[in-house]
Chain A
């Protein structure tokens, strides 16, 4: 048994970090559309090659807003009919969700659009999903 003071060391060979670290980027377009009561589910990402096991994903919905969002697994954003982001779901006309999923060799992004407005349909603008992914190997 060895007692180690974690606060006193930069690195100890008994502890792994997250190796195989790499970055990848991908962009894909989502066309303007009219969304009714059923959600529009758009699986438009081509797979990001990922032989690693875990990731951190950041996306920007270019042409819709300028923010690069950080999320893990699921991003949920609300917009008014003027395509303005809102934190208040009761004021939102539509919702855009982005989910990440893995296969054994890739990372895929899925975009879903839900109508929240009382109107029968809502129009959503064309936008581009720009994704920045940090990929690394979990030590398990």
Chain B
């Protein structure tokens, strides 16, 4: 019996495959709603992709893509989404002035991705892609589920709770994205789902030793259907 928490890497256990990394910068204009697309990058695979990244505002400390920070007392947020062949970066800038943003985003393959053309001539060869001295996040469970979110009843929001059993016996790390087959974005960040459905949706997601719970709270009077993509990881140690 092998416990995946006891080794750094084992080829029997899936890890994330980081396909491409993008860096960039842009000026985020003041108070544009909804969040505008500030930058677009062409990706090397014509499919939706998962992503993880960080950003800085005016050269400050890095934040996770999707995090909200206070800048001059106003909320600032950078979001992302993927479409087939492209990565989009958005910003919510509630300040009265514009701000400079830099970002780094790693694109990760999702289960439906198939053919990827690796261009050895452009791959950076001075980076170490894999090192057995590093402990890698190992995927315990992943899937894509169809979800239909019921509409609000008048002014009363409606919750749709999706329960994903994992039975790991401990609290795992989770990544999750929604897509409508055209655009994919992060579930675990505030305003993330609104990028896809352009609705005011609040969500509070949670986890325990047996299950992950995704709560979709619909404040809108429309029914929404989408794919919920999730990955649940073995603990580190």
Contact = CB atoms under 8 A, between A and B. Distances in A.
A134 B188 CA distance: 14
Given A5-B114, A11-B11, A18-B16, A56 B130 contact: no
Contact of A23 (B9, B12, B134, B237): B237
Interface string A86-104: 0111100000000111111
B190 A73 contact: yes
A60 to B, nearest CB: 9
Contacts of A55: 64
Given A73-B189, A90-B155, A102-B63, A19 B11 contact: no
A69 B62 CA distance: 23
Given A54-B54, A73-B68, A17 B130 contact: yes
B116 A102 contact: no
B67 A87 contact: no
A73 B80 CA distance: 14
Nearest to A11: B11
SS of A interface (majority): strand
A7 B109 CA distance: 9
Contacts of A35: none
B120 A134 contact: no
Contacts of A103: 61
A10 B207 CA distance: 26
Q: Which size class do A's interface residues fall under?
A: 35 or more
B17 A17 contact: yes
Contacts of B32: none
B61 A102 contact: yes
Contact of B205 (A7, A11, A69): A69
Contacts of B13: 10
Interface of B: 9, 11-19, 21, 23, 52-54, 61-64, 66-69, 77, 104, 106, 109, 111-121, 123, 127, 129-131, 134-137, 155-157, 159, 171, 173-175, 186, 188-190, 202, 204-208, 212, 215, 217, 233, 235-237
9 contacts: A2-B120, A6-B113, A13-B129, A16-B130, A18-B15, A19-B135, A72-B67, A75-B204, A87-B159
Given A21-B136, A101-B69, 12 more contacts: A1-B119, A6-B17, A15-B19, A19-B137, A21-B236, A23-B237, A70-B205, A72-B186, A76-B190, A76-B202, A134-B173, A137-B134
Interface of A: 1-7, 10-23, 53-56, 58, 67-77, 87-90, 99-104, 132, 134, 136-140
